[in-house]
A and B are shown apart, each in its own frame.
Chain A
Amino acid sequence: TLTQAEKAAVVTIWAKMATQADAIGAESLERLFSSYPQTKTYFPHFDLSQGSAQLRGHGSKVMNAIGEAVKHIDDIRGALAKLSELHAYILRVDPVNFKLLSHCILCSVAARYPSDFTPEVHAAWDKFLSSVSSVLTEKYR
């Protein structure tokens, strides 16, 4: 569970990220598909070329969900309940991929906000994204 200090760190950086959320989302997905090509298997129906509308649209979706989790950081499970069911019953993305996407999101954030991305903030975000991932996979079985 996140400490108060960790929650504060997550919320503070999110305030900065929110203005570029769509771009960060698209960049994170681009990093994901490029570093871990196997993740593309979940998107055979997408145009995954750089700058594609679908990539940007999906990046936005992902970041919106993260934004919801930040807004309800004391009840991530409640905030993402519907998404959790979606991933468990419809999408069924293998759990290992949440770590990969989380890592790519951290890379994008580190690249855009290097001076804000202190070790403490890094740790808080890693933990937060790990919580989000847990919630999204907890109904799998």
Chain B
Amino acid sequence: MVHWTAEEKQLITSVWSKVNVEECGAEALARLLIVYPWTQRFFASFGNLSSPTAITGNPRVRAHGRKVLTSFGEAVKNLDNIKSTYSKLSELHCDKLHVDPENFRLLGDILIIVLASHFARDFTPACQFAWQKLVGVVAHALARKYH
């Protein structure tokens, strides 16, 4: 089980309470697809991904980004139980989606950059530390059921 200090929990929940999940999720996924174009391999069915503008405006990207970040919110709500929270999703990503877990780390770091750009000076190094820990734990939980 992951140990969270009171300060880490506070930094995580206070940032999360101000996050617009729909906007942030859409932006994070779009940036993933733009900055690391090879990640588009999982989204061939999403239609037009031909340029950063196309990706940012793509409604399926936006919807999926929102879905992913909403799921991330489950981790924030269950900080002491992240492994079991993502048990089924881990199996899904392995058995059905065939996603290399490295992609979870890439998306986690992109999310951190999106938070930095939204919260600016409020996204202090201490804040980043707590969030890096969180995205790492989520990535690990999602990779845990791979076989």
Contact = CB atoms under 8 A, between A and B. Distances in A.
Interface of A: 27, 30-31, 34-36, 103-104, 106-108, 110-112, 114, 117-120, 122-123, 126
A135 B102 CA distance: 24
Contacts of A103: 109, 112-113
B132 interface: yes
A126 B112 CA distance: 14
Given A31-B128, A122-B35, A111 B56 contact: no
Interface of B: 30-31, 34-35, 52, 55-56, 109, 112-114, 116-121, 123, 125-126, 128-129, 132
Contacts of B112: 103, 107
A30 B117 contact: no
Given A111-B119, A122-B113, A31 B125 contact: yes
A4 to B, nearest CB: 16
Contact of A34 (B31, B55, B125): B125
A34 B117 CA distance: 19
B120 A114 contact: yes
A30 B125 contact: yes
A34 B126 contact: yes
A94 B116 CA distance: 26
The main secondary structure of chain B at its interface with chain A is: helix
B45 to A, nearest CB: 21
A118 B116 CA distance: 13
A69 B83 CA distance: 43
A107 B116 contact: yes
A35 B132 contact: yes
B57 to A, nearest CB: 11
- Nearest first, the 6 A-B pairs at minimum CB distance are A110-B117, A34-B125, A114-B117, A110-B116, A107-B116, A123-B35
Nearest to B114: A110
Contact of A111 (B35, B55, B109, B116): B116
Contacts of B123: 107, 111
A133 B114 CA distance: 23
Contact of B56 (A30, A34, A106, A119): A119
The winner among A30, A36, A108, A119 for most chain B CB atoms within 10 A is: A119
Contacts of B132: 35-36
Nearest to A37: B129
Contact of B129 (A35, A106, A108, A122): A35
A111 B52 contact: no
Contact of B125 (A35, A110, A118, A120): A35
The winner among B30, B52, B125 for most chain A CB atoms within 10 A is: B125
A37 to B, nearest CB: 9
Contacts of B31: 119, 122-123
